[in-house]
Structure 1
Amino acid sequence: MDAFVGYVLPEGSLDIAKKLKLICWMHAGCDELDLARLKTLGVQVTNLRGANSIAVAEHAMAIILGLAKRLMAKHQACVNALPVPVYDVDSRSAMLHRRTLGIIGLGQIGSAIAQRAKAFDMRVLGVRLHPELGAGVADAVFGVDQMAQVLGNSDYVVLATPITRKTNSFFGAKEIDAMKSGTFLINIARGNLIQERPLYDALKSGKIAGYGSDVWWTYNNAFPASYHFPVPSRTGIQRMPNVIGTGDQGANADDVLDRNIARSVESLLEFQNDKPLTWKIDLDLGY
């Protein structure tokens, strides 16, 4: 086998696939792969970055609006025929208009979120590893070393960065302390970017007004190990009234599967014809 296309690489595959030269990985994130070993074996990897960016960006906006407008609580009140106090601090909606959105990770998904946020007249601040690449449609861009400044000026914060050795669990108590009180936090990337306990404490105290996430924590020492599907949080975050979870559904949208397949076929054809791989990832960086 020279090439592999798929969502899951069965355990032990690298031990028996002696001729493997290419993996067309049908995810945007490549954190499930043993990238160091693949580099040693000389195996190239392509991914689906950008193929689902519009769908995920729309999903991110849905979560932002769901939190801001308290849609879950108001839906339940409607279902149970309960009144909702008008203009009460605990029931009125937050606004997006003229509020500031901080996007941590201004790649294809982050840039697509920025574009949609501008349609709501939001001020958008981006953080990216290489700020010299520019802000795009965002109002300003900052380096990773300036993230605290962005967090302190944002009413909404979206995590849209790949998960790598450097970003795994990077968002913890220090980053939460840098946020304004009452900020909404949205995670559209990977659950394990955020340290769970500090987030739980911040939600309980009201430091963070609400948390919305399409992704959940991966517990490697669970049985079975959790990945790409929701499991109950060990802190019970999923039961908190100011939390929205959507169970890895951002890319579950019209047209996405067709684009995923087309992208993989494109990579296979480039490989077959000895052409540069358009969607090749850097095995050292992990994306």
Structure 2
Amino acid sequence: MKQMNIVAITGMDLTYLQENLPKELNNRIQFHWFKSSKEASAHLANADVIVTAGKMNPDIMKQTPNLKWLQTLSAGVDKLPLQELAERNIVLTNARGVHTIQMSEFTLSLMLQWVRKTNLLHERQQQHMWDDQLSVGELYGKTIGIIGAGAIGEAVARKAKAFDMKVIGLNRSGVPHPAYDSTVSGEEGLVYLLSQSDFVVLLLPSTAKTKGFMTKEHIALLKPNAFLINLARGDVLDEQALITALQERKLAGAALDVFQQEPLPADSPLWSMENVILTPHIAGSSARYTERVSSIFYHNLVAILEGSEMMNKVDLTEGY
């Protein structure tokens, strides 16, 4: 039986993935890991499988005539050649679900950081200032609106309920889900969620349909005391409209992990705004990331070898 040739091209540390490959696969595959496409070039012509971390040099498609399956170690697929994959009937699977724990914890940490004013308290500490008159808030009784009520959204909802928050979720169907107090859909549902929420969390995938999802008009619907968290992609909202709303105090604050341009340009006003928390696209990071994504890859590797059902197959037309 011909061995399946797998070529991983990523700067991610795949030591765990390599060392824990199921033993029964040892004689059925050849696994090669390279940090760049240039290093991998000699192996691409024979590659049956490409493993990537979410981005791929477009030239790779021209060098892989035998490619049958592309596994991305990220959830987002917006930086992959979806149209060409579809034209060549190449299966694409992603790491959907691998971010659920860390991103839901990160969301709660940002909300707590905001209401408990930990940034300001840290500044006071650096200034050796004892300010016991500082007024802080709480999450109890507040409403959180989750836009993109998938696996991560559900995990955020369950954690928010532990803080006695009210949870509104927006999904495509509007079908009720036990993790949410109410589930809405469509433009009418979005307007309701934005107008009712004290915290709004964006967890949408980046697709042709979600680009520019949050418009200037939508941002204007938020409460003046609302706090917006974007952990989706920078292009799902009107970044300039958000900056203006924050500068004019029409919106209390925001936490942004993703931006229209990354790294965030040094001249962006977001860097110096006291009502903004910035993080460098690390909401999904975890010391256990490779371990979790490896289990998805192992499952799919066995599935493609044995003709069984693969998990996390991406609809190449929809982009998720």
Contact 2:296 2:311 in 1 (8 A): no
Partner of 1:194: 237
Deviation at 1:232, TM superposition (A): 2.5
Partner of 1:95: 138
SS at match of 1:152: helix
Mapped pair 1:144 → 2:144 = no
Pairing of 1:69-148 with structure 2 (within 5 A): 69-84=116-131, 86=133, 92-132=135-175, 134-145=176-187, 146-148=189-191
Larger radius of gyration: 2
d(CA) in 1 for partners of 2:300 and 2:267?
Answer: 39
d(CA) in 1 for partners of 2:79 and 2:214?
Answer: 20
198-207 or 66-75, which moves further after superposition? Answer: 66-75
d(CA) in 1 for partners of 2:271 and 2:212?
Answer: 19
d(CA) in 2 for partners of 1:69 and 1:123?
Answer: 19
CA deviation vs aligned residue, 1:44-67 (integer Å, no higher than 9, x gap): 110111112111110111111112
Partner letter of residue 45 of structure 1? Answer: L
136-145 or 151-160, which moves further after superposition? Answer: 136-145
d(CA) in 2 for partners of 1:46 and 1:148?
Answer: 33
Contact 2:58 2:81 in 1 (8 A): no
Gaps of 5+ in 1: 219-225
Give percent identity, aligned residues only: 30
Partner of 1:216: 259
Contact 2:202 2:231 in 1 (8 A): yes
Contact 1:73 1:241 in 2 (8 A): no
SS at match of 1:131: coil
Query: How has the CA–CA distance of structure 1 residues 165 and 234 changed in structure 2, closer, same or farther, with 3 Å as cutoff?
Result: farther
Mapped pair 1:240 → 2:280 = no
Deviation at 1:233, TM superposition (A): 6.2
d(CA) in 1 for partners of 2:239 and 2:267?
Answer: 9
State how many pairs are aligned: 272
d(CA) in 2 for partners of 1:243 and 1:174?
Answer: 20
Mapped pair 1:42 → 2:89 = yes
d(CA) in 1 for partners of 2:131 and 2:251?
Answer: 22
TM-score of the superposed pair, with normalisation by structure 2: 0.81
Partner of 2:301: 268
Contact 1:111 1:136 in 2 (8 A): no
Contact 1:196 1:235 in 2 (8 A): no
TM-score of the superposed pair, with normalisation by structure 1: 0.90
SS at match of 1:284: coil
Gaps of 5+ in 2: 1-46
d(CA) in 1 for partners of 2:266 and 2:181?
Answer: 35
Query: What is the RMSD computed on CA atoms of the aligned residues?
Result: 1.5
